[in-house]
Structure 1
Amino acid sequence: MSTKLEVIWTPQPNKFITWGTDICLYELQQLRNNSNPNIKLSSTYGANLLATNTNHHYVKCLDIHPKVDSDLLMAIGNIYGKVTLSTFGPSSIFDAQGLPGKDFVPRHSRPCNTVLWNPIDNNVLAVGLEKYRSDFGVLLWDIMKFPTSTENNSGRLSMNTVQLAVELAKPTAEFGISESAHSLDWFRSSSKQMAVGMNNKNIKLLDFRDPNKVVISNLTKAVYGVCVDPHNEKHLASYSDNQSFIWDIRNFEKPILTLSHAKPLLKIEWCPTKYNLLGALQKDSSCITLYDIQHTLVGNEEIEPSVLERNVLPGSPHNITSFSWHASDENRFLTIALSGSIIDYTVFDRITLNWGATSHVVWTYGCKTMKYIQDNTLNDISYKIKKRAKLEYGLKDEFWKNSEIIEDEMLSNVWNWLYLSGKLVDKGVFGDKDIVRGAYCKHPGVQSILKIDPNSNKSEVVNMNWADLGNTNCTGTIRVYRHDDRQKAMRLCSWHFDSYTNALLEFLQQLEKDQSCTRAAAIAVFNLKIKLAIEILGRAPDHAHNGPTLQIVAMALAGFCDDKNSTWKHYCSALRTKLSDPYLKALFAFLTADNYNYDNVLNENGIAVDDRVAFACMFLPDNKLHSYLKKLSETLTEEGNLDGLLLTGTNADGIKLLQKYLDATGDIQSTALIGVQAFSEDINSDAVKGWVESYRNLLDTWQLWNERAKFDIMLSAYRPNEKQPQQVFVSCNFCGKSISACMQGLSRTRGQFTRMGSAANNNLKMSSCPNCRKPLPRCAICLMHMGTKLVL
């Protein structure tokens, strides 16, 4: 009886065989709601037992006939050396040929180590046997030349028939007298060539067309599991103990690769569906080790292969005894364990993602399929850049028009701020605009405008009574700081309504139209217009965001009292944190602040940066104002938040901020456009030049030639002194060499170009190539030679 448990796929892709004590045939079945297969192989497949063959004992090896038919023919070798052909029950095809039940018996009994059908000549069966002193270790049988039984009229075999049977029962070829054959494999390119592991000491390459049989031989103990790579017959693999070897038959003396394993090996097998993938099974192991062998050529020389190793756990709870690759399904194999459990497993292959020039993500899905994701489904930064470029983003004549194209709120705010700051500079709000620009402040930041000195040029402190502001329930005062620089900074923040009540009303009305009611109410409160804030919240429509809630907030705000011991202040201070809207939280934080501590307002990240800066300019003392603005600028720069340009302006700190933004988002388009148009004084810096070239190359990659040309035209307006390099050259039709050196005022003397010195040579007249002396092409209209006259 056999103690082995083996599994093997049949040529029929939906059937497999297991064998040990019995030989069983199974058919795959997909798992569905109503399906109930005999065994479950995976989450998607099960199998039903179709037939069992119990007629064979002491089975040592087995192979299935490679012909794909509805019937299966097996060659079964036992421990006595006999090879029997068998099927699972009646076979209309093979029974007609008289094949089932045929025995192929060597002259001397010894164990049969391996049987293997020829993949080309399917009638030929190779058998590897143990050593016998006067017999061969490798036998080839032709199953169609085996005699059939014929009886005479008396029911007995004639003497001629018996004599013919003895002659025809001989193998068609023999090799290896007094030698053992441990394993063998056919070469797929020829039906007469095979590799055999023999005698525990060598692998021999046989060609049965050669009378001498032996072609090549080496010395090695790795004679087990010999298998030829199905995709490259120059390579074969074998193993011994806990080492496997990869051989190149062109240089068979030593292996090109040696793989070491922790335990002795039971089986190795090449994957038939993937190049250079070798599977290995170790003893007492529940995993399959896969070796992806990468062969590399340097010139015409093949260097030592590199190997990627993976351990695959099919999920068997017991040690695996065998595995079998599927012949057609990629990376799929079966395993069988000591317990008899069978697992159907597909290896998830490593994939290589490729990002196309058209922003498509492409990857391989097996050997025959490629999948991709279109850029419009990714919605990543490259897709956005391409979409914006086609809309002429960043090329508008007014900065604010770019904000209408962009969907990003932060970028929209940046372009609007650049438009505002540029207008303020042109109007001379910050002083002499020529001096400002000469100091590299075309778009000055708040930090560069605030030149307040607490010692000599400090701000004015104004204490205002709440009662004077129309709040009759209040008896205290509110402290406000005034300074010309503060007013200028607030104008940069769009808070230019210190003495312009109408401007404040117009600004708040616009916010209401934009459905930013809470922001409008908060700004009104920050400008000490509490009644106006109540009206704004009361007018909030019910369908607006938090509409009914805002009207309740208006009721709460109507009871404002500045007494620090008042019930209103106590409860509003406690319940403020439960509000979700940042502007409402800041509004009540301002009204309930103790000792003019406005940290809860200034550190509320949901509030726009320009509102926080304007609030700081209005309510913080000089020393705290500088400290807060410096800390906020550093934080925004580190985050790559372009709202920080309000603080830095277009200087070196602004360049650093743009670089941080680029690192965080990959938006080379906005970085380059802002760098060119807002940092015109630094346009020739290395950073800006790098951004510009990267964006130009990106447009070229996408073949957006019109957009690239428009960008270059815009760029030339900011670089009026920069001359574009020559991009068109004249070359000879015959030799192909450039003649532009001569056209630029150089003459050739003894193979060298020299500068022409006389004024008469300023009008160059050439009729031939200075390199090959062949005539230059003529104009189709005037018949003058091209390049005849060039006035330098």
Structure 2
Amino acid sequence: MSAKLEIEWTQIANKFITWGSEICLYETEFLKDKTIPCMKISNNLAAFLLTTNPNYHYIKCLDIYPKSNDILLAVGQGNGKVSLVTFGPSQFDSQGLPGKEFVPRHPRQCNTVAWNRIDSNLVAVGLDKYRSDHSVLLWDIVKCPFSPDSNGALKPSVSSMTTSTEVSKPVAEFGMSDMTASLAWFNTNSKTLAVGMNLKNIRIVDFRDSVKVVTSTPTKAVFGLCMEPNLDRHLASYCDNQVCIWDVRNFEKPLVTLTYPKPTLKIGWCPTRHNLLASLQRDSSLINLYDIQQTIVGNEEVEPSILERVVIPNYSQNITSFSWHPTEENRLLSITLTGTISDYIVYDRITLNWAPNSNVVWTFGRKTMKILNENSSLYDPLKDISHKIKQRALDGYGLKEELSKNGDMVDDVLIKNAWKWLQLSGKLSDEGILRGYNSRHPGVRTVLKIDGVNVKSDTISISWADLGNSSCHSSAKIYRHEDRDKALYLCGWKFDKDNTLSKLLDRLEKEHAFSRAAAIAVFNLKIKQALEILSRGAESSFEHSNLNIVAMALAGFSDDKNSVWKQISAGTRAQIGDPYLRAMFAFLTAENYNYDAVLNEDGMLVEDRVAFACTFLSDGKLLDYLKALAMELTEEGNLDGLLLTGNNSDGMQLLQQYLDVTGDIQTTALIVVKAFPIESYTEKSKEWVTSYRNLLDVWQLWNERAHFDIMLNSYKPTEKPPQQVYVSCNFCGKSISAYMQGLNRGRGPFSRMGSTANKLKMSSCPNCRKPLPRCAICLMHMGTTMGKHINGDVDSNKLVEFSHWFTWCQSCRHGGHASHMIHWFRNHSECPVTPCSCKCFAIDSWSNEDV
């Protein structure tokens, strides 16, 4: 196949042409099992060669006739001729157009040719310089005015047709002794043409009366002129490695100038998108796209912003040309020097909208919108935390008094462990085991007094022989201190008289965590018990059958450095898949009490690593390890770090990082409310609580919001919640509530006078003294009883009876005393006010309920 250097879509949707040394016409079809030779241009499309026109070998430029269902080409050649070319028989044959040539008076290269998009009988030609001739020639292919028929075909009069195939005289000329590099017709004005000339300027020319220059601008960017197809406002051109975008209303300087490291080959506006320009550079496999965003402030346009993108139709080859499809959105063809063609869809920037109800809506082209909701199978991979938060709120997550039960309601292990630890630490504080910390949930670093004065721990050496292993001669060194014991309580490794280590190991066995149980037994220097656990685990199921082999290996434990057991165990430890078994053998094969392999085993739970450190590390190493571990967990936003930080400022920082990583505002707010003291609240923590309450409001989870507020207020017994709803005066807009005005005490017309037993009411606004609205039924001014009788006196702290409450329709605003309105709507659905036709009772969502 000969090289195809240029490519262009035709006005027929599925046909395009290529040209270089010859002109070829292709048609696109969906890929099928056909024997006809074809070229694959995309995953589902192929191009079939329909015909070839090899008669023109010196093609310099080409344009396609814009108004027809058939193809007519204007081909500019190296000698200046412009020929009308078709592919075989066409509708233009009867008009004598195929083969017609337009020849300048003096031969020179034709640089550009452009059909007029409105008066399509006109074709403009741009030529090289000749000192006594014009460089812009305007030809009329039928030599007479015409109007296209319904199919866009030409309809010249018979007398207007010339007998010769050459037309010797253009209808207009311009640019004496100039060189024309490119041309671009205006889309809405058939007589206005933009011309790039002499490497010096761009001129806008008007052909209506006599040829004259409307305006011009000095620039070297005179190549590739093209008018934005949707507006006669933006004009683009290029020169060398610069692309300029002009606003023809302000033609003094470019609107935007784009610079590249390589020379520009071609530019082109997208016909289906406003202000989208494509640019191709030499020796490049990518096409740059520029979306020009116009911004209007008031009545004035400000400097536009440019959004740049890159598309790569051919990943391995350099592109020589491209063409936008005239009608299909964002579709373009590209061609390489070797003739490889790609049909590429430029996926548009989408406007993504994520609704509070978890519906995701986005644009798909200019005419289609797509939606994805939580019921779709495609929604789960999004891992939307808000969907989980909403479902957890509906399940009552965070409202359980027993903290560990809140963890049981979620499927996240880290959250489960956090709630279980809060339950444990709170229980230890209530039992008096953790005292003197001014905190119900102190962390390990707090109980070890890392930030204060450290107390030296006692060192205890226990011989392995004392543990019943006669083949061992060395000892295990452990550290003891009261503060370390408290830390072990927090880690779950130290127990009271009713909850021993054996009970922990039994619970782990029931959960089938045999490897963890065996490792904890070994860390507590109970190797025999670990062997029994491994044996029972191997018998429990086929899944744990390999534990027998581990038990056999563990049974041969020897602390002799030169023993075969120690050498083999140390060498093969890394091949063990279970992290607890790796840590167990790392502990038994450790040299010189170096337990880094155990402490850095990420597969172990944090509480087990911390408990191990509190048992086997010296004071200095323990503090350094816990500090580094706390910093690591905080940076990760790992809630396991609460074990180290507790409910102090470091814990707040950990929660902030957890929120940043996961977006789980629900768990963050709930932990702050339930575990952190009110006096430790920061502005951020208050904002978390407010954000979660607002989120429940957005989802219209009113009951869940109310339960959360009740729980929130229960942790603030000294703070009275502010009144959020009150009745206001129609005249001054202020509250008429005696409670809000502070009028239920002291002197005044609303205070208690003597020992009167009458119910005290107010019938006017306490601020402006204007009368309150009348009840629509009894026509009395509505008023609020200050209290109710109790043993002959008035208790001002008790609420009035419901029958005296104000009530009104949210639609027509008419109402009255609650008891009167209830009685009225037992038999009526329409408003009791005579001229009002509002169906108050029918509007009420509870209208079908028994009143």
Q: TM-score, normalised by structure 1?
A: 0.79
Displacement of 1:14? 2.3
Aligned match for 2:503, one of 502, 506, 517: 506
Q: Quick one: which of 680, 685, 689 aligns to 2:686?
A: 689
Does structure 2 conserve the Cα–Cα contact (< 8 Å) formed by 1:778 and 1:786?
yes
Distance of 1:112 and 1:573 partners within structure 2:
83
Residue 532 (1) aligns with residue 521 (2): no
In structure 2, what is the equivalent of residue 153 of structure 1?
none
Give the alignment of 1:363-402 within 5 angstroms: 365-369=364-368, 375-402=379-406
Matching residue within 775, 779, 783 for 1:779: 775
**Cα shift at 1:25:** 1.7
* Paired residue secondary structure (2:546): helix
Provide the rounded CA distance (Å) in 2 between the counterparts of 1:335 and 1:703.
52
One-letter amino acid matched to 2:670: L
Q: Which residue of the partner structure matches residue 117 of structure 2?
A: 119
Give yes or no for contact 1:270–1:278 (8 Å, CA) kept in 2.
yes
How many residues end up aligned between the 2 structures?
752
**How far has the Cα of 1:278 moved from its partner?**
2.5
Contact 1:446 1:492 in 2 (8 A): yes
Contact residue 314 and residue 342 of structure 2 kept, 8 A: no
1:491-534 deviations in whole A, cap 9, x for unaligned?
Answer: 3322344756x733332221111001112222233334333222
Indicate the residue corresponding to 2:65 in structure 1: 65
Matched, 1:644 2:661: no
Distance 1:455 1:49, change over 3 A: closer
Q: Distance in 2 between matches of 1:454 and 1:78?
A: 91
Aligned positions of 1:562-577 closer than 5 A: 568-569=565-566, 571-577=568-574
Percent identity, aligned pairs only, is: 52
Q: Give the residue type in structure 2 aligned to 1:780.
A: A
Q: Distance in 2 between matches of 1:177 and 1:480?
A: 99
Which of 652, 656, 675 lines up with 1:678 in the alignment? 675
Identify the residue that residue 491 of structure 2 maps to in structure 1. Answer: 493
> Is this contact kept in 2: 1:6–1:323, CA < 8 A?
yes
Alignment correspondent of 2:93: 95
Matches within 5 A, 1:161-240: 174=172, 176=174, 183-189=182-188, 192-197=190-195, 200=198, 203-206=203-206, 208=208, 211=209, 216-220=214-218, 224-239=223-238
- What's the CA shift string for 1:253-284, capped at 9, x where partnerless? 55434455667766443221332122345678
Q: Is the 8 A contact 1:84 1:101 kept in 2?
A: yes
Instruction: Tell me if 1:47 matches 2:53.
Output: no
The yes-or-no answer on 1:408 pairing with 2:408 is no
Range moving further from structure 2, 524-533 or 52-61: 52-61
- In structure 2, the CA distance between the partners of 1:36 and 1:742, relative to structure 1 (3 Å rule), is same
Match of 2:326 in 1: 327
Name the residue aligned to 1:292. 291
Structure 1, gaps ≥5 residues long: 148-159, 748-755
Q: Which amino acid aligns with 2:491?
A: C
Answer yes or no: is the 8 Å Cα contact 2:79–2:108 preserved in 1. Answer: yes
Q: Which residue of the partner structure matches residue 255 of structure 2? A: 256
CA contact 2:113–2:126 (8 Å) conserved in 1: no
CA distance in 2, matches of 1:356, 1:530: 57
Higher alpha-carbon deviation: 271-280 or 417-426: 271-280
1:548 partner letter: S
- Shift of residue 400, structure 1, vs aligned partner: 1.2
The answer to whether structure 1 residue 9 and structure 2 residue 22 are counterparts is no
Asked if structure 1 preserves the Cα contact closer than 8 Å seen for 2:289 and 2:308, the reply is yes
Alpha-carbon displacement from aligned partner over 1:35-69 (angstroms, at most 9, x marks no partner):
66465656765533322234557655433232452
Query: Equivalents in 1 of 2:212, 2:410: separation in Å?
Result: 77
1:394-543 alignment, distance < 5 Å: 394-431=398-435, 436=436, 439-450=437-448, 469-471=467-469, 482-497=480-495, 503-541=500-538
Which residue pairs with 2:18 in the alignment?
18
Instruction: Give the secondary-structure state (helix, strand or coil) at the position aligned to 2:719.
Output: coil
How far apart, CA to CA, are the structure 1 residues paired with 2:260 and 2:565? 78
CA drift at 1:78: 5.3
The residue number in structure 2 matching 1:699 is: 696
Partner of 2:534, secondary structure, is: helix
Partner Cα separation in structure 1 for residue 240 and residue 571 of structure 2: 76
Pairing of 1:726-737 with structure 2 (within 5 A):
726-728=723-725
Distance change in 2, residues 1:81/1:630 (3 Å): closer
Whether the 8 Å CA contact 1:8–1:17 is kept in 2: the answer is yes
2:669–2:688: 8 Å Cα contact kept in structure 1? yes
1:458-506 deviation digits (Å, cap 9, x = unpaired):
6666666656655566677655555554444333322344756x73333
Tell me the residue number matched to 1:556.
Answer: 553
Q: Distance in 2 between matches of 1:769 and 1:108?
A: 100
AA at the equivalent of 1:387: Q
- How big is the shift at 1:426? 1.6
Distance, in Å, in 2 between the alignment partners of 1:260 and 1:570 is 66
SS at 2:500 equivalent: helix
* SS in structure 1 of the partner of residue 296 of structure 2: strand
In structure 2, what residue type is equivalent to 1:645? Answer: L
Say whether 1:653 aligns with 2:650: yes
Q: Report the Cα offset of residue 111 of structure 1.
A: 7.0
1:19 Cα deviation from its structure 2 partner:
3.6
Contact 1:676 1:683 in 2 (8 A): no
Aligned 8 A contact 2:126 2:182 in 1: no
Partners in 2 of 1:699 and 1:356 — Cα distance?
16
SS of residue matched to 1:536:
helix
Q: 1:298 to 1:561 in 2, by over 3 A?
A: same
Separation in 1, partners of 2:72, 2:21: 19
User: Cα distance 1:565–1:51, how it changes in 2: closer, same or farther (>3 A)?
Assistant: closer
CA distance 1:761–1:214, shift in 2 (3 Å): farther
8 Å contact kept, 1:440–1:650: no
TM-score scaled by length of structure 2: 0.74
Greater alpha carbon shift after TM alignment, 251-260 vs 448-457: 448-457
Aligned to 2:822: none
Question: Given residue 779 of structure 1, which amino acid in structure 2 is its aligned partner?
Answer: C
How much does 1:378 deviate? 1.5
Kept in 2, the 8 Å contact 1:421–1:492? The answer is: yes
Cα gap change, 1:107 to 1:565, in 2 (>3 Å): closer
**Given that residues 186 and 194 in structure 2 are in contact (C-alpha distance below 8 angstroms), is that contact kept between their aligned partners in structure 1?**
no
CA distance in 2, matches of 1:271, 1:455: 73
The 1-side partners of 2:408 and 2:159 are apart by: 101
Aligned equivalents of 2:662 and 2:646: distance in 1?
20
User: Relative to 1, partners in 2 of residues 1:738 and 1:217: Cα closer, same or farther, differing over 3 Å?
Assistant: same
User: Does the CA contact (< 8 Å) of 2:665 and 2:692 recur in 1?
Assistant: yes
The answer as to 2:742 corresponding to 1:738 is no
Indicate how the Cα distance of structure 1 residues 227 and 462 shifts in structure 2: closer, same or farther if over 3 A, else same: closer
Q: Deviations over 1:715-769 (max 9, x none)?
A: 1111233344443365676x9x73349988889xxxxxxxx99634779967689
Distance in 1 (alpha carbons) for counterparts of 2:191 and 2:385:
58
Q: Is the 8 A contact 1:296 1:303 kept in 2?
A: yes
Q: Which amino acid aligns with 2:342?
A: D
Residue of structure 2 aligned with 1:717, choices 707, 710, 714: 714
CA distance in 2, matches of 1:518, 1:29: 63
Per-residue deviation, 1:417? 1.6
The whole-number CA distance in structure 1 between the counterparts of 2:139 and 2:733 is 71
Counterpart for residue 300 of structure 2: 301
| Secondary structure of the structure 1 residue equivalent to 2:418 | helix
What is the deviation of 1:674? 1.0
How many Å separate the matches in 2 of 1:101 and 1:79? 17
